[in-house]
Structure 1
Protein backbone atom coordinates (compact mmCIF):
# COMPACT_ATOMS: atom_id res chain seq x y z
CA UNK A 1 0.00 0.00 0.00
CA UNK A 2 1.24 3.48 -0.88
CA UNK A 3 0.31 6.09 1.72
CA UNK A 4 0.95 9.78 1.12
CA UNK A 5 0.58 12.45 3.75
CA UNK A 6 0.04 15.71 1.85
CA UNK A 7 0.45 18.59 4.26
CA UNK A 8 0.81 22.34 4.36
CA UNK A 9 3.97 23.80 5.88
CA UNK A 10 7.30 22.55 7.07
CA UNK A 11 8.12 21.06 10.45
CA UNK A 12 10.45 23.40 12.31
CA UNK A 13 10.43 21.85 15.78
CA UNK A 14 13.05 19.16 16.29
CA UNK A 15 10.89 17.05 18.64
CA UNK A 16 8.13 16.83 16.02
CA UNK A 17 10.62 15.99 13.26
CA UNK A 18 12.06 13.23 15.46
CA UNK A 19 8.60 11.76 16.12
CA UNK A 20 7.75 11.89 12.41
CA UNK A 21 11.02 10.16 11.55
CA UNK A 22 10.37 7.45 14.16
CA UNK A 23 6.85 6.64 12.93
CA UNK A 24 8.00 6.80 9.31
CA UNK A 25 10.67 4.22 10.12
CA UNK A 26 8.17 1.98 11.92
CA UNK A 27 5.69 2.24 9.04
CA UNK A 28 8.30 1.24 6.44
CA UNK A 29 7.65 -2.38 7.47
CA UNK A 30 3.98 -2.12 6.51
CA UNK A 31 3.59 0.35 3.64
CA UNK A 32 5.37 2.75 1.31
CA UNK A 33 5.07 6.13 3.04
CA UNK A 34 5.60 9.46 1.34
CA UNK A 35 5.30 12.81 3.13
CA UNK A 36 4.64 15.67 0.74
CA UNK A 37 4.96 19.20 2.10
CA UNK A 38 3.53 22.18 0.24
CA UNK A 39 4.33 25.78 1.09
CA UNK A 40 2.04 27.59 3.47
CA UNK A 41 0.83 31.17 3.13
CA UNK A 42 1.36 33.78 5.81
CA UNK A 43 -1.96 34.50 7.50
CA UNK A 44 -2.25 38.02 8.89
CA UNK A 45 -3.71 38.36 12.38
CA UNK A 46 -7.43 39.12 12.29
CA UNK A 47 -7.62 38.22 8.58
CA UNK A 48 -11.03 38.72 7.00
CA UNK A 49 -13.01 35.74 5.69
CA UNK A 50 -12.14 36.83 2.16
CA UNK A 51 -8.41 36.86 2.88
CA UNK A 52 -8.66 33.46 4.58
CA UNK A 53 -10.52 32.07 1.53
CA UNK A 54 -7.74 33.37 -0.75
CA UNK A 55 -5.06 31.81 1.47
CA UNK A 56 -6.86 28.44 1.56
CA UNK A 57 -7.34 28.60 -2.23
CA UNK A 58 -3.58 29.13 -2.81
CA UNK A 59 -2.67 26.31 -0.44
CA UNK A 60 -5.41 24.17 -2.02
CA UNK A 61 -3.93 24.64 -5.49
CA UNK A 62 -0.57 23.44 -4.19
CA UNK A 63 -2.19 20.41 -2.56
CA UNK A 64 -4.26 19.58 -5.66
CA UNK A 65 -1.09 19.25 -7.78
CA UNK A 66 -0.13 16.23 -5.67
CA UNK A 67 -3.47 14.43 -5.56
CA UNK A 68 -3.56 11.42 -7.86
CA UNK A 69 -6.68 10.43 -9.76
CA UNK A 70 -6.54 6.77 -8.70
CA UNK A 71 -5.86 7.44 -5.03
CA UNK A 72 -8.40 7.34 -2.23
CA UNK A 73 -8.17 10.82 -0.70
CA UNK A 74 -8.93 11.39 2.99
CA UNK A 75 -9.08 15.04 4.09
CA UNK A 76 -8.61 15.80 7.77
CA UNK A 77 -11.43 18.15 8.71
CA UNK A 78 -13.04 19.06 12.01
CA UNK A 79 -16.49 18.23 10.56
CA UNK A 80 -15.36 14.86 9.21
CA UNK A 81 -16.32 11.39 10.37
CA UNK A 82 -14.87 10.35 13.73
CA UNK A 83 -13.54 6.82 13.99
CA UNK A 84 -12.01 4.81 16.79
CA UNK A 85 -8.51 3.47 16.22
CA UNK A 86 -10.07 0.09 15.43
CA UNK A 87 -12.52 1.76 13.03
CA UNK A 88 -9.68 3.56 11.24
CA UNK A 89 -7.75 0.27 11.01
CA UNK A 90 -10.84 -1.41 9.56
CA UNK A 91 -11.20 1.39 6.97
CA UNK A 92 -7.58 0.98 5.83
CA UNK A 93 -8.05 -2.80 5.69
CA UNK A 94 -11.35 -2.46 3.77
CA UNK A 95 -9.75 -0.15 1.20
CA UNK A 96 -7.00 -2.72 0.61
CA UNK A 97 -9.56 -5.50 0.18
CA UNK A 98 -11.43 -3.31 -2.34
CA UNK A 99 -8.24 -3.04 -4.38
CA UNK A 100 -7.19 0.47 -3.35
CA UNK A 101 -3.40 0.58 -3.42
CA UNK A 102 -2.89 4.31 -2.86
CA UNK A 103 -4.27 6.38 0.03
CA UNK A 104 -3.57 10.09 0.32
CA UNK A 105 -4.30 11.84 3.61
CA UNK A 106 -4.44 15.64 3.49
CA UNK A 107 -3.65 17.98 6.39
CA UNK A 108 -4.44 21.64 5.78
CA UNK A 109 -2.68 24.70 7.11
CA UNK A 110 -3.45 26.71 10.22
CA UNK A 111 -6.82 27.88 8.89
CA UNK A 112 -7.91 24.58 7.36
CA UNK A 113 -8.51 23.23 3.87
CA UNK A 114 -9.94 24.85 0.77
CA UNK A 115 -13.46 23.78 -0.17
CA UNK A 116 -12.16 22.41 -3.49
CA UNK A 117 -9.93 19.94 -1.62
CA UNK A 118 -12.76 18.96 0.73
CA UNK A 119 -15.01 18.31 -2.29
CA UNK A 120 -12.28 16.26 -4.01
CA UNK A 121 -11.83 14.07 -0.94
CA UNK A 122 -13.38 10.62 -0.94
CA UNK A 123 -13.72 10.88 2.84
CA UNK A 124 -13.43 13.53 5.51
CA UNK A 125 -11.89 12.37 8.78
CA UNK A 126 -11.93 14.14 12.14
CA UNK A 127 -9.75 13.22 15.08
CA UNK A 128 -11.67 15.40 17.52
CA UNK A 129 -13.91 18.43 17.82
CA UNK A 130 -10.83 20.07 19.32
CA UNK A 131 -8.37 22.00 17.18
CA UNK A 132 -4.77 20.76 17.02
CA UNK A 133 -1.71 22.49 15.56
CA UNK A 134 -1.35 21.16 12.01
CA UNK A 135 2.31 20.24 12.65
CA UNK A 136 1.34 18.12 15.67
CA UNK A 137 -1.49 16.57 13.66
CA UNK A 138 1.09 15.03 11.34
CA UNK A 139 2.57 13.09 14.28
CA UNK A 140 -0.86 12.06 15.56
CA UNK A 141 -1.89 10.88 12.09
CA UNK A 142 1.29 8.86 11.57
CA UNK A 143 0.87 7.25 14.98
CA UNK A 144 -2.71 6.27 14.14
CA UNK A 145 -1.70 4.83 10.75
CA UNK A 146 1.01 2.81 12.52
CA UNK A 147 -1.50 1.71 15.17
CA UNK A 148 -3.88 0.66 12.36
CA UNK A 149 -1.29 -1.61 10.80
CA UNK A 150 -0.50 -3.13 14.19
CA UNK A 151 -4.21 -3.73 14.84
CA UNK A 152 -4.71 -5.28 11.39
CA UNK A 153 -1.67 -7.53 11.93
CA UNK A 154 -3.05 -8.59 15.35
CA UNK A 155 0.12 -7.30 17.00
CA UNK A 156 0.01 -6.07 20.63
CA UNK A 157 0.91 -2.34 20.20
CA UNK A 158 -2.67 -1.05 20.26
CA UNK A 159 -3.61 -2.41 23.69
Structure 2
Protein backbone atom coordinates (compact mmCIF):
# COMPACT_ATOMS: atom_id res chain seq x y z
CA UNK A 1 0.00 0.00 0.00
CA UNK A 2 1.20 3.50 -0.84
CA UNK A 3 0.66 6.42 1.53
CA UNK A 4 0.28 9.95 0.19
CA UNK A 5 0.29 13.02 2.40
CA UNK A 6 -1.16 16.02 0.58
CA UNK A 7 -0.76 19.45 2.12
CA UNK A 8 -1.90 22.84 0.92
CA UNK A 9 1.00 25.27 0.69
CA UNK A 10 4.68 24.69 0.20
CA UNK A 11 6.77 24.51 3.34
CA UNK A 12 9.66 26.94 3.20
CA UNK A 13 13.19 25.66 3.60
CA UNK A 14 14.05 25.31 7.23
CA UNK A 15 13.14 23.38 10.33
CA UNK A 16 9.46 22.77 9.45
CA UNK A 17 10.28 21.27 6.07
CA UNK A 18 13.23 19.29 7.40
CA UNK A 19 11.20 17.74 10.23
CA UNK A 20 8.36 16.76 7.91
CA UNK A 21 10.71 15.17 5.39
CA UNK A 22 12.74 13.43 8.11
CA UNK A 23 9.65 11.76 9.59
CA UNK A 24 8.31 10.78 6.17
CA UNK A 25 11.67 9.29 5.19
CA UNK A 26 11.77 7.29 8.43
CA UNK A 27 8.17 6.16 7.85
CA UNK A 28 8.99 5.09 4.31
CA UNK A 29 11.99 3.05 5.48
CA UNK A 30 10.11 1.42 8.35
CA UNK A 31 7.00 0.85 6.28
CA UNK A 32 8.58 -1.19 3.50
CA UNK A 33 8.85 -4.28 5.71
CA UNK A 34 5.22 -3.78 6.77
CA UNK A 35 3.65 -3.69 3.31
CA UNK A 36 3.75 0.08 2.81
CA UNK A 37 5.66 0.55 -0.42
CA UNK A 38 6.06 4.32 -0.19
CA UNK A 39 5.21 7.39 1.82
CA UNK A 40 5.10 10.50 -0.35
CA UNK A 41 4.42 14.20 0.19
CA UNK A 42 2.56 16.31 -2.37
CA UNK A 43 2.40 20.04 -1.79
CA UNK A 44 -0.38 21.95 -3.55
CA UNK A 45 -0.28 25.69 -4.06
CA UNK A 46 -2.55 27.76 -1.85
CA UNK A 47 -5.53 29.39 -3.53
CA UNK A 48 -5.34 33.15 -4.10
CA UNK A 49 -9.12 33.64 -3.87
CA UNK A 50 -10.27 36.49 -1.62
CA UNK A 51 -13.01 34.67 0.30
CA UNK A 52 -12.18 31.76 2.61
CA UNK A 53 -14.99 29.58 1.22
CA UNK A 54 -13.71 30.14 -2.33
CA UNK A 55 -10.17 29.26 -1.25
CA UNK A 56 -11.36 26.03 0.38
CA UNK A 57 -13.37 25.13 -2.72
CA UNK A 58 -10.44 25.74 -5.08
CA UNK A 59 -8.04 23.87 -2.84
CA UNK A 60 -10.46 20.93 -2.55
CA UNK A 61 -10.61 20.72 -6.36
CA UNK A 62 -6.80 20.71 -6.53
CA UNK A 63 -6.68 17.95 -3.88
CA UNK A 64 -9.28 15.88 -5.77
CA UNK A 65 -7.17 16.19 -8.93
CA UNK A 66 -4.38 14.37 -7.05
CA UNK A 67 -6.50 11.64 -5.44
CA UNK A 68 -5.89 8.20 -6.90
CA UNK A 69 -9.04 6.23 -7.63
CA UNK A 70 -10.05 3.42 -5.32
CA UNK A 71 -8.01 4.64 -2.38
CA UNK A 72 -8.85 5.52 1.19
CA UNK A 73 -9.14 9.22 2.01
CA UNK A 74 -8.26 10.52 5.49
CA UNK A 75 -8.74 14.20 6.33
CA UNK A 76 -6.92 16.02 9.09
CA UNK A 77 -9.42 18.64 10.21
CA UNK A 78 -10.03 20.48 13.47
CA UNK A 79 -13.66 19.33 13.40
CA UNK A 80 -12.73 15.65 13.24
CA UNK A 81 -12.50 13.17 16.07
CA UNK A 82 -9.43 12.73 18.18
CA UNK A 83 -7.65 9.43 17.89
CA UNK A 84 -4.76 8.03 19.87
CA UNK A 85 -1.63 6.80 18.13
CA UNK A 86 -2.52 3.12 18.50
CA UNK A 87 -5.92 3.69 16.86
CA UNK A 88 -4.28 5.63 14.02
CA UNK A 89 -1.79 2.79 13.50
CA UNK A 90 -4.69 0.31 13.48
CA UNK A 91 -6.46 2.48 10.89
CA UNK A 92 -3.42 2.32 8.58
CA UNK A 93 -2.98 -1.39 9.20
CA UNK A 94 -6.66 -2.13 8.51
CA UNK A 95 -6.56 -0.20 5.23
CA UNK A 96 -3.42 -2.08 4.19
CA UNK A 97 -4.95 -5.42 5.18
CA UNK A 98 -8.16 -4.65 3.27
CA UNK A 99 -6.22 -4.74 0.02
CA UNK A 100 -6.47 -1.02 -0.74
CA UNK A 101 -3.56 0.11 -2.88
CA UNK A 102 -3.34 3.66 -1.57
CA UNK A 103 -4.31 5.84 1.37
CA UNK A 104 -4.26 9.61 0.96
CA UNK A 105 -4.08 11.82 4.02
CA UNK A 106 -4.95 15.47 3.40
CA UNK A 107 -4.23 18.69 5.26
CA UNK A 108 -6.03 21.85 4.24
CA UNK A 109 -4.66 25.35 4.06
CA UNK A 110 -5.08 28.15 6.57
CA UNK A 111 -8.88 28.08 6.05
CA UNK A 112 -9.17 24.32 6.50
CA UNK A 113 -10.81 21.79 4.18
CA UNK A 114 -14.02 22.15 2.21
CA UNK A 115 -16.96 20.31 3.83
CA UNK A 116 -17.67 18.29 0.68
CA UNK A 117 -14.10 16.96 0.73
CA UNK A 118 -14.23 15.95 4.39
CA UNK A 119 -17.64 14.35 3.77
CA UNK A 120 -15.99 11.94 1.33
CA UNK A 121 -13.26 10.94 3.82
CA UNK A 122 -13.26 7.54 5.50
CA UNK A 123 -11.80 9.19 8.61
CA UNK A 124 -11.69 12.80 9.79
CA UNK A 125 -9.02 13.22 12.44
CA UNK A 126 -8.32 16.20 14.70
CA UNK A 127 -5.12 16.79 16.63
CA UNK A 128 -7.06 17.78 19.75
CA UNK A 129 -9.40 20.68 20.35
CA UNK A 130 -6.83 23.38 19.78
CA UNK A 131 -6.40 25.04 16.42
CA UNK A 132 -2.99 24.34 14.86
CA UNK A 133 -1.25 26.10 11.95
CA UNK A 134 -1.47 23.88 8.88
CA UNK A 135 2.34 23.74 8.60
CA UNK A 136 2.61 22.32 12.14
CA UNK A 137 -0.16 19.83 11.35
CA UNK A 138 2.01 18.61 8.48
CA UNK A 139 4.87 17.86 10.90
CA UNK A 140 2.52 16.21 13.39
CA UNK A 141 0.90 14.08 10.67
CA UNK A 142 4.31 12.99 9.37
CA UNK A 143 5.41 12.06 12.89
CA UNK A 144 2.20 10.11 13.51
CA UNK A 145 2.65 8.21 10.24
CA UNK A 146 6.16 7.27 11.37
CA UNK A 147 4.89 6.41 14.86
CA UNK A 148 2.18 4.22 13.29
CA UNK A 149 4.85 2.28 11.41
CA UNK A 150 6.79 1.71 14.62
CA UNK A 151 3.64 0.59 16.44
CA UNK A 152 2.79 -1.86 13.66
CA UNK A 153 6.39 -3.16 13.77
CA UNK A 154 6.38 -3.42 17.60
CA UNK A 155 9.36 -1.08 17.68
CA UNK A 156 10.14 0.65 21.01
CA UNK A 157 9.85 4.22 19.57
CA UNK A 158 6.26 4.33 20.84
CA UNK A 159 6.42 3.90 24.61
CA UNK A 160 2.77 4.11 25.63
The equivalent of 1:97 in structure 2 is 97
What SS is found at the alignment partner of 2:15?
Answer: helix
Gaps of 5+ in 2: none
Alignment of 1:8-157 (within 5 A): 8-29=8-29, 30=31, 31=36, 32-42=38-48, 51-157=51-157
Cα displacement (A) at 1:13? 4.6
What is the distance in 1 between the residues matched to 2:58 and 2:49? Answer: 12
**TM-score normalised by L of structure 1:** 0.90
1:16-75: per-residue Cα shift (whole Å, max 9, x none)?
11112211221121130111111102476xxxxxx2111111111111101122110001
Kept after mapping to 1: 8 A contact 2:78/2:125 = yes
The equivalent of 1:47 in structure 2 is none
CA RMSD in angstroms comes to 1.4
**TM-score normalised by L of structure 2:** 0.90
The equivalent of 1:3 in structure 2 is 3
What is the distance in 2 between the residues matched to 1:76 and 1:33? Answer: 17
What is the distance in 2 between the residues matched to 1:52 and 1:17? Answer: 25
Aligned residues: 153
Which contiguous aligned blocks of 4+ residues in structure 1 show a shift greater than 2 angstroms? 41-44
1:75-110: per-residue Cα shift (whole Å, max 9, x none)?
111121211111111111111221123110010000
Cα displacement (A) at 1:116? 2.1
Gaps of 5+ in 1: 45-50
What is the distance in 2 between the residues matched to 1:101 and 1:112? Answer: 27
